[in-house]
Amino acid sequence: MSWIAAHTKRVGIGTTVLVLPMRHPLNVAKSIATIDQFSGGRVILGVAAGWLEAEFDALGIPFHERGARTDEAIAMLRKFWTTDHITESFPVHQSTVVSMRTLPQPVRHVPLWVGGHADVALRRAVAVGDGWHGAFLSPEQTEKRVRTLRAGRPEETFAISMRTRWDALLDEEDLIMYEIDRYREIGVTHLVPEPRQRTVDLYLESMEKMANILVRAGVEMKN
């Protein structure tokens, strides 16, 4: 992300998604705030609780604590990014800070897009997120989740984002155009295509072609 921040001027920079309970929130807060400073306030932080127990086992983090760790970590990030000095205890992370400086702080409020498809993830997005970031769901699978999210967060500033597997070199353009229209119809506000290519040249070629499809579909390009 820091490399991208240094080599771009306008494009948003984000994660899709950062498994938050696998990392200490203090490190995340400092890293993200630093990149936000470098980029002039362009970071979007996608976060989620994770789902693969083997990953937690490999890191020595209790899998059953991932929900509580995620919730407390989000609260810690907000605190670290907006308060200086801090004296507070965070019991889930077994951390206590006393008159701690929390610099750098972001250029502006860093949007937190909460990922995950389960009901608990949707409730977390509604309660503490600035948006929801889904992944690889069809428009039909997404629609009921959008209804749930909008029931709790009807404001236009609450983002509803979907990461897709569209690959403009492999998929039919008509199918991509159809799905773009369907996602927009059901209320998805942001689309994050992820080509399936595995070489840099083909990935870039696919992204260029995908950009042209998005323009033809009338999608505003965030760049």
- The whole-number pLDDT of residue 222 equals 61
Q: What is residue 155's DSSP assignment?
A: S
- CATH 3.30.420.480 is held by the domain 116-223: no
Q: Which tokens in the block code for residue 37?
A: 């400073």
- The whole-number pLDDT of residue 220 equals 77
Walking along the chain (223 residues) 10 residues at a time, the average pLDDT comes out as 92 95 97 96 98 97 97 97 95 95 95 97 98 98 98 98 98 97 97 96 97 91 60
pTM: 0.94
Q: Structural domain boundaries of the chain?
A: 1-110, 116-223
- The whole-number pLDDT of residue 164 equals 98
The stretches of the chain forming alpha helices (DSSP H) are 2-7, 25-39, 53-59, 66-82, 119-128, 139-152, 173-186, 200-216
Q: Which tokens in the block code for residue 11?
A: 């494009």
